[in-house]
Amino acid sequence: MALLEIDGLVAGYGKIEVLHGVSLALDEGSLCAIVGANGAGKTTLLRAISAIVPKSGGRVRFAGSEIGALPTHAIVRRGLAHVPEGRRMLPYMTVEENLLVASAIRRDGRAPIARDIATIFERFPILGARRSVAAGSLSGGEQQVLAMARAIVARPRALLLDEPSMGLAPKLVAQVFEIVREERARGSSILLVEQNARAALSLADRAYVLERGRIVLEGTGAELLTREDVTAAYLGG
Ligand SMILES: Nc1ncnc2c1ncn2[C@@H]1O[C@H](COP(=O)(O)OP(=O)(O)OP(=O)(O)O)[C@@H](O)[C@H]1O
Ligand SMILES: [Mg+2]
């Protein structure tokens, strides 16, 4: 059974239906990519899974139980971490405080959390060097790394990443994808939404193409990379 299973999900904003019955599965320890054009509903899909946007149909199962009716905070407690588009964090708190707040959900005590934060500062030296600086003063790329570090330090069972490379300079894009690749290699389960489809598909165990609120294609990342219709539509030919 998949770690996260979505079946016939319908969601939108008020009377506007955006997702018209989306089904997908994320296996434990795997990376699943969702690609699609602007406005296809990728962000709405992640928001509906996290109950930020209400669902009007379908089922969401996570780690063996139904979470479709749970509010956002309860879903987070179950171990589903969501890194939203636009890398939200606590701008007036320091980098270190941001990590502490994010890890407060853990129940394994201060010492393991402190160890994990120390590890984060080793893995991501740009955060280590700026641990006492207000998060809001970081550059866009640094904020994205912090947003991902916040999710990682919470030790979630699965990560939802919404366009982690958006708006970053090419060198930082490569760094962000490197973090995603590393997390995948550490055994994390990741649902990744990206417009940078080539990079996302080349990391993905499984991938879905979302078009106007519907899944129109699915396969392994490698399969979708070889499909001419996919490359023409989403990878610039
Ligand atoms: N708060 C909102 N209220 C009403 N409609 C919205 C809202 N947010 C998004 N939409 C609409 O829902 C549709 C899907 O938007 P969504 O942001 O999920 O797409 P996306 O695939 O994430 O796009 P992008 O690649 O630009 O991030 C779009 O038609 C959009 O205009
Ligand atoms: Mg989006």
> For the segment 171-187, what is each residue's pLDDT rounded down to a tens digit?
888 888 999 999 999 89
Protein residues placing their CB within 5 Å of the ion ligand 2: 42-43
| Domains present along the chain, CATH in parentheses | 1-79+156-237 (3.40.50.300), 89-155 (no CATH)
pLDDT at 184: 93
> For the segment 47-56, what is each residue's pLDDT rounded down to a tens digit?
999 999 999 9
Q: Please choose, from the candidates 164, 22, 17, the residue with its C-alpha nearest in 3D space to the C-alpha of residue 85.
A: 164
Assess whether the C-beta atom of 71 lies below 6 angstroms from ligand 1: no
Which ligand is in closest contact with the Cα of 53? 1
d(C-alpha 23, C-alpha 92), whole Å: 39
Whose CA is closest to atom 31 on ligand 1?
39
Whose CA is closest to atom 17 on ligand 1?
43
Assess whether the C-beta atom of 39 lies below 6 angstroms from ligand 1: yes
* Tokens 């392994």 belong to residue: 220
Select the more confidently predicted residue: 31 or 90.
31
pLDDT at 69: 96
Average pLDDT over residues 206-225: 95
pLDDT at 79: 94
> For the segment 98-154, what is each residue's pLDDT rounded down to a tens digit?
999 999 989 898 999 999 999 999 999 999 999 999 999 999 889 999 999 999 999
Judge whether 152 and 108 are in contact, CB under 8 Å.
Answer: no
d(C-alpha 206, C-alpha 218), whole Å: 7
Instruction: Among 9, 13, 17, say which to mutate for ligand 1: greatest number of ligand atoms within 8 Å of CB.
Output: 13
What element of type H or E holds 218? strand 214-219
Q: Please choose, from the candidates 125, 130, 135, the residue with its C-alpha nearest in 3D space to the C-alpha of residue 98.
A: 135
pLDDT at 236: 62
Which ligand is in closest contact with the Cα of 35? 1
Instruction: Among 10, 22, 42, 161, say which to mutate for ligand 1: greatest number of ligand atoms within 8 Å of CB.
Output: 42
> For the segment 159-174, what is each residue's pLDDT rounded down to a tens digit?
999 999 988 888 888 8
The pairing of beta strand 55-62 with beta strand 16-26: unpaired
Number of H-type helices and E-type strands within the chain: 10, 10
Which ligand is in closest contact with the Cα of 38? 1
pTM for this entry: 0.94
